[in-house]
């Protein structure tokens, strides 16, 4: 998964699998009927369930990087309907005329209408959830019905030479990264480095995966600090996490018998120190130094009042630089949320310097001039202290850890 600008993200999936050499998977109907010889042409291989809706920039590739065709909406729906009807007849016998419209609605209807059709299959259904109890119906049939109600099958046409051999099939598409609710103080603390910001990612449905791997890439200056996958439902398979400080992070898990009950991975994100955090620190230190030196040095403010042109030029240059560094085009909403407090600090310091230049030009009277400069000095110093403490703590901690490591002989 790669988080791009705004809520846009890119999901790339690679499946290490072996398409079964089943004659009934042949795409050409005539080839499926010729069971006395090896079928020719492409084979239909279902890769995954994809949520119903508009799929943007869908790409499917084979092991050599060559594009693979996918079934269209009508062919896809007919295949899904045939699978659902086959499972229904296998468990409940022939399909009645009043039941078949429900099956069609499950496959071709919108997610809301389709889920309602699933619950309408049983007179005992009282709610539109997966917890509905169906009398005389097995779990696999209900699971298939709910999956086809919310999703469609992504079926690719694989060349015949790849059937029956181990290969890697890939598909990718754009998706919307849902926002993770977070409090104001959480974002403020995470932006300064006091803690990390959690972000939930939908892992899909890794059913019966012997080895499931997830890579997440974030945009600089964000850092992926840790990534944890959900545990398996049977309690036997464990999910392993990974830690890092770069923009790319990896985690793996195993779901050989059942999918995880919770389909969300947790990504912990922080802000790189040598980025806009450093800019905010330097701007706040510069702002605090200007006001403090003007108060502490004898005759400093008098010199500024007597020669306002040069002083005003210096004080206005810093806000211009600070505002120029606030640009955030092309950021993801996660990056924008974490960097927003740092930009507000930089903008506040720039505003203080701009107002200070106005007090010099306008010759603000005492005691207002002194009060403004004292308040600005304390506010900028508070910003600098707040942003610098995590940097000092991290540096000291890194030094202590380095010293505690055993030396090589």
Buried b (16+ CB within 10 A) or exposed e, 390-403: bbeeeeeeeeeeee
N-terminal to C-terminal alpha carbon distance within the chain: 42
What is the pTM assigned to this prediction? 0.73
| pLDDT attached to residue 308 | 54
Q: What is the DSSP string of 268-327?
A: EEEE-IIIIIHHHHHHHHHHHHHHHHHHHSTTHHHHHHHSHHHHHHHHHHHHHHHHHTT-
| Strands in 177-247 per DSSP E | 197-202, 209-217, 222-228, 239-240, 242-243
Contact call for residues 159 and 62 (beta carbons, < 8 A): yes
Burial of 298 (C-beta count, 10 Å sphere; 0-12/13-18/19+): exposed
| pLDDT attached to residue 378 | 93
| pLDDT attached to residue 238 | 47
Cα–Cα distance measured from residue 227 to residue 206, given in angstroms and rounded to the nearest whole number: 17
Nearest to 178 by CA among 382, 388, 11: 11
| pLDDT attached to residue 203 | 81
Burial of 368 (C-beta count, 10 Å sphere; 0-12/13-18/19+): exposed
Q: Which residues contact 229 (CB under 8 A, 6 or more apart)?
A: 203, 212, 214, 239, 240, 241, 251, 252, 253, 260, 265
Angle at 157 between CA 13 and CA 171, to 5 degrees: 15
Contact call for residues 223 and 269 (beta carbons, < 8 A): yes
The H-assigned helical ranges of 151-228 are: 184-192
pLDDT tens for the chain, residues 1 to 409: 888 877 788 889 998 888 888 888 888 877 777 665 666 788 898 888 888 877 888 899 998 888 999 988 888 888 899 888 888 888 777 888 888 888 888 889 888 888 888 877 764 444 444 444 455 555 677 778 888 888 888 899 999 888 888 999 999 988 877 666 556 777 788 888 888 888 888 887 777 778 888 888 888 888 888 888 887 665 444 455 565 568 888 888 888 777 777 778 888 888 887 778 888 888 888 888 888 887 777 766 666 666 555 556 566 566 656 665 555 556 777 787 888 888 888 888 888 887 887 777 667 677 887 888 889 889 999 999 998 888 887 676 555 656 655 555 4
Cα–Cα distance measured from residue 315 to residue 355, given in angstroms and rounded to the nearest whole number: 9
Contact call for residues 252 and 213 (beta carbons, < 8 A): yes
Task: Indicate the helix (H) or strand (E) that contains 154.
Answer: strand 151-158
Task: Extract the tokens encoding 285.
Answer: 């230190």
Pairing of strands 151-158, 43-51: antiparallel
Task: Indicate the helix (H) or strand (E) that contains 43.
Answer: strand 43-51
Cα–Cα distance measured from residue 253 to residue 239, given in angstroms and rounded to the nearest whole number: 4
Task: Extract the tokens encoding 119.
Answer: 């619950």
Q: What is the DSSP letter of 375?
A: H
Cα–Cα distance measured from residue 307 to residue 289, given in angstroms and rounded to the nearest whole number: 19
Task: Extract the tokens encoding 252.
Answer: 């793996």
Task: Extract the tokens encoding 80.
Answer: 């899904």
Task: Extract the tokens encoding 68.
Answer: 């693979």
């Amino acid at each position: 998964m790669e988080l791009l600008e705004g809520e846009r993200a890119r999901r790339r999936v690679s499946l290490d699998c072996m398409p079964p050499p089943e004659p009934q998977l042949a795409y050409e109907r005539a080839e499926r009927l010729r069971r006395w010889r090896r079928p020719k042409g492409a084979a239909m291989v279902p890769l995954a369930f994809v949520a119903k809706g508009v799929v943007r920039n869908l790409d499917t590739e084979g092991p050599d990087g060559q594009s693979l065709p996918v079934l269209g909406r009508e062919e896809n729906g007919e295949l899904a309907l045939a699978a659902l009807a086959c499972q229904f007849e296998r468990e409940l016998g022939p399909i009645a005329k009043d039941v078949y419209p429900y099956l069609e609605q499950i496959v071709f209807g919108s997610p809301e209408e389709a889920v309602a059709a699933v619950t309408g299959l049983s007179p005992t259904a009282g709610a539109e959830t997966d917890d509905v109890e169906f009398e005389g119906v097995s779990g696999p049939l209900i699971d298939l019905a709910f999956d086809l109600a919310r999703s469609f099958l992504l079926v690719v046409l694989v060349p015949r030479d790849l059937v029956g051999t181990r290969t890697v099939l890939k598909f990718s598409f754009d998706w919307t990264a849902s926002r993770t609710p977070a409090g104001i103080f959480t974002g403020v603390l995470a932006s300064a480095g006091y803690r990390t910001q959690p972000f939930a990612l939908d892992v899909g449905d890794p059913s019966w995966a012997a080895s499931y791997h997830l890579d997440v890439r974030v945009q600089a200056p964000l850092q992926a600090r840790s990534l944890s996958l959900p545990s398996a439902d049977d309690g036997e398979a464990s999910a392993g996490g990974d830690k890092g400080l770069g923009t790319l992070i990896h985690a793996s898990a195993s779901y050989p018998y059942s999918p995880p009950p919770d389909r969300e991975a947790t990504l912990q994100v922080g802000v790189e120190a040598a980025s806009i955090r450093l800019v905010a620190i330097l701007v706040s230190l510069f702002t605090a130094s200007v006001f403090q030196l003007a108060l502490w040095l004898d005759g400093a403010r008098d010199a500024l009042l007597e020669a306002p042109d040069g002083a005003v030029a210096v004080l206005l240059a810093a806000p211009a630089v600070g505002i120029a560094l606030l640009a955030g085009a092309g950021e993801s909403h996660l990056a924008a949320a974490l960097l927003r407090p740092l930009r507000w600090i930089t903008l506040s310091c720039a505003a203080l310097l701009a107002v200070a230049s106005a007090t010099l030009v306008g010759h603000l009277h005492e005691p207002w001039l002194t009060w403004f400069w004292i308040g600005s000095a304390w506010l900028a110093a508070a910003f600098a202290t707040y942003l610098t403490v995590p940097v000092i703590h991290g540096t000291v901690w890194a030094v202590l850890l380095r010293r505690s490591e055993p030396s090589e002989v």
